[in-house]
Amino acid sequence: MSIVRFTAFFLTFILAPPTNALDNKHNIKWDNLVPQMAPLDNPFTALTMDQRTDFEILIGIRDMKRRGFLSEVDEALEDETEIRERLNRQGLNVDDYIIEYSRLEQEIIKRNKMTNAELDGQIVRLPGYALPLEHKDTGVKELLLVPYVGACIHVPPPPANQIVYVTLKDAYTSTNLYEPVWITGRMTIETTNQSLTYVDGTAGIDTAYTLKGDKVEPYEN
């Protein structure tokens, strides 16, 4: 059977308290970049693992059909019929669940762009992994700060509200890709699209926050 996987972001949300001066900076976490919201109403949590896998396959087949990737004799269409019949026998309304999935998908997309207004203009200190946008002998002055190793390189990037575009006051000499650091500076809610160059290509990365970095420190737990 041809299996297509779909991965969505499910987040927890915490509000961060405000601060006003560099000497009174406060450490924040990545959760603090997302505003408080009501929990997601996710009907798929009540399904078994096998049922959720079947719906993932159906949704993947649906998306491939929309993009014209399947011919009329593709074996994935036989898989679709088989899965629908199996789920119907289990008392599940397949079309209703797919409609709910589309609603949930749109809600996640919307939430992934939402920002925490409490942080706008505040002096913060945030840990993360430095992903340079430029490579110069004198050091790096622009980078993306991301929450985990591997983000944005050959995998889907994190949500825009989980990527921070950093401009540094003083050039920083990066020793490794995804070097763990603390960055202190003034954060603003400002969306950008940054061009990230790989060895084999370039990608545009959407960010929801900008941080004017005054200080970079090696990360220490």
**Under 8 Å between Cβ of 29 and 132:** no
123 and 207 inside one domain: yes
In tens, the pLDDT along 141-182 reads 999 999 999 898 877 899 999 999 999 999 988 878 899 999
Amino acid symbol at 186: R
CATH number of the domain that residue 195 is part of: 2.40.50.870
Q: Quick one: pLDDT at residue 208? A: 97
Cα-flanking dihedrals φ and ψ of residue 204, to 5°?
-90, 130
Structural domain count, the chain: 2
CA 172 to chain centre: 26
Query: Which domain, by its residues, includes 70?
Result: 43-111
Q: What is the mean pLDDT of residues 114-137?
A: 91
Virtual torsion, Cα 101, 107, 108, 111, nearest 10 deg: -170
Q: Give the Å distances, CA to CA, from 16 to 13, 64, 149, 157.
A: 10, 41, 24, 24
Distance, in Å, from the CA atom of 110 to the CA atom of 35, rounded to the nearest integer, reads: 12
Q: From 86, 111, 136, give the residue that closes a domain.
A: 111
Residue 10: pLDDT over 70: no
Q: Quick one: pLDDT at residue 176? A: 81
Please tell me the chain's helix, strand, coil percentages from 3-state DSSP, rounded to the nearest 5: 30, 30, 40
153 and 80 inside one domain: no
Q: From 111, 146, 163, give the residue that closes a domain.
A: 111
In tens, the pLDDT along 40-61 reads 889 999 999 999 999 999 999 9
Q: Quick one: pLDDT at residue 14? A: 27
